Amino acid sequence: MAAARGLGWAGAAALAALLLSPVISLGLAAAGGGGELWPHLAAYVLPQAIRDTALLLAGVGLLVIGLGTGAAWLVAAFDFPGRRLLEAALLLPLAMPTYVVAYAYLDLMHPLGPLQAGLRGLLGLSSPRDLPLPDLRSLPGCILLLGFVLYPYVYLPTRALFVMQAGTLLEAARMLGAGPWRIFLRIALPLARPAVALGTGLALMEALNDVGAAEFLGVRTLTVQVYATWVNRSDLPGAAQIALVMLACVVALVGLERLARGGRGYAGNARRAAPSLRRRLSGWRGGAALALGAVPVALGFLLPAGYLAVEAWRRIGGSGVPDALGAQARNTILYASLATGVTVIVGLLVAAAPSLLGARAGRVLIRAAGLGYAMPGTVLAVGLLGPLALIDSGLFEAGFASLSVGLGTGAALVVAYALRFLTVTVGASEAGLARIPRAIPDAARMLGRGRFATLATVQLPLAWPAVLSGGLLAFVDIAKELPVTLLLRPLNVETLSTHLYGEAARGTYEDGAVAAVLIVLIGLVPVTLLLRLDRNALTRRG
């Protein structure tokens, strides 16, 4: 037992050191730039970047709370024609990377694009100047775009909480004569605060991590400035200094999320609401509810995905499939699959660490695993340069020069992906293992099976739906990850996301439409499986 605990603390320390190494490396890189860079950054770069970032996060936060919570209550508390389809469709924007949506809307809403051209035709106008529409290339445009793509992060946990708690709450509240609005405002919403805070925190992390959509729309966030300072100006110390400011923003976001939750947790024994407890909406009320719920799905998925599909069909019909597209799709799936495999295995071991290596060491491991997701991709990529270079030096001195893991290698990209999204699989595996009664692994141990054998042959088969859901969610996130891929991908290797980013930067939108559709399709497969797993889990608990 003492040896196991020692191994647990050693593993916890190693993982924590690996996850903290980017932060330490950032500090060293920032200090190595000298004091002459900071005055320029503080005077000309940071004020606008901090202002734009703060306004963007505030706007996106308010929008995802309104959309996610409203949509969750709509499908949990009311029954209307098309509700089950809408309940699943509201998750579809998860498959849409923010930069893909920005890419589609920039072309769709261009003065010479199909939307404005159609409106001018209906109104009998001939010149684009006769129909002045709000410019999407603005901070409000970026807020709207990100909000309609990221609201599922709030919708998914909030809907699950509403569904699991609504059974007893609706019965009691209706017996006391409360209407739907009063139930929502006085009972459901306060109890849903932990889920809303958690989902909003995740959505804001994704908004802070975004580089493609913000850059396309002309919003100079801290993330965009890190990328521009490193890649465009070849100024790594300056990028590290801005990245440290981003870390301060992340710490503030995490603190606000915990403050918003207020120490509240989830009720685990509430029974699922029976369909009869939902308020039935028929006629025009049912149609209005369906139409209202379909708005975020249309704006966050159907409209951009449909437009990209049409443009991709035209591109293929006119010029055929681009020659390099097959290799780019293979690269995307290959690196996402490798990183997902590593992340699932490590995430399962970390989640099981309290039982494998001791409670205290396990808690340290689980907390350390969350550090990577708290760091935006640009911050993680810049911070990994130093640690990966040290590992490369050690491998070279040990005679393993062919096992390079430094900048420009596939191993560096897989490591960065795994560190960035480890907490996704840890959380899913932890939830799955927690549902297994303690008597089952205890019985296996009494029958002579070791801790790892019990995990592999008893606990994993019982927890596999949760483990699989974590892997699917990690795969979706990895496949559409842009900042890490842009900064750490191997030399002369393109993925679908980097190809699309390059086409959008050059303004050749029609050439990137096929890649954008493939990114969406790759993301739709795991999202569809995730929907099935989520629905089966709710059914089993009902």
CA dist list (Å): 24 to 202, 240, 386 = 24, 11, 9
pLDDT 10s digit of each residue in the chain, 542 long?
555 555 556 666 666 677 777 777 777 776 765 556 667 777 777 888 889 998 999 999 999 999 999 998 888 888 889 988 998 889 888 878 888 888 888 888 877 777 777 777 777 777 666 666 677 888 999 999 999 999 998 898 888 777 765 455 666 666 656 666 676 766 667 777 777 887 888 888 888 888 888 888 888 888 888 877 776 676 777 777 777 777 777 777 767 766 665 555 444 444 444 444 577 888 888 899 999 999 999 999 999 888 888 888 887 877 777 777 888 889 999 999 999 999 999 888 888 888 877 777 777 777 777 777 777 777 788 788 778 777 777 777 777 666 666 666 788 889 889 888 888 888 878 877 877 888 888 787 887 777 778 888 888 888 887 788 788 888 888 888 888 888 888 878 888 888 888 877 776 666 677 888 888 888 777 777 766 766 665 555 44
Q: How confident is the model at residue 539, as a pLDDT? A: 53
* Verdict on whether the full-model pTM lies above 0.85: no
CA dist list (Å): 376 to 204, 211, 276, 366, 487 = 11, 10, 44, 19, 12
Q: How confident is the model at residue 179, as a pLDDT? A: 62
Judge if 1-30+325-493 and 33-266+280-302 fold alike in CATH terms. yes
Fold held by 33-266+280-302:
MetI-like fold (1.10.3720)
CATH architecture of 1-30+325-493: Orthogonal Bundle (1.10)
Q: How confident is the model at residue 275, as a pLDDT? A: 47
Q: How confident is the model at residue 60, as a pLDDT? A: 94
Q: How confident is the model at residue 341, as a pLDDT? A: 93
Q: How confident is the model at residue 267, as a pLDDT? A: 45
Of residues 34, 242, 65, the one with CA closest to residue 157: 65
Q: How confident is the model at residue 270, as a pLDDT? A: 44
Phi/psi at 465 (nearest 5 deg)? -60, -40
Residues 6+ apart with CB under 8 A from 401: 395
Q: How far apart (Å, rounded) are the C-alpha atoms in residues 455 and 463?
A: 10
Q: For strand 78-79 and strand 279-280, is the pairing parallel, antiparallel, or unpaired?
A: parallel
Q: How confident is the model at residue 292, as a pLDDT? A: 92
The domain spans of the chain are 1-30+325-493, 33-266+280-302
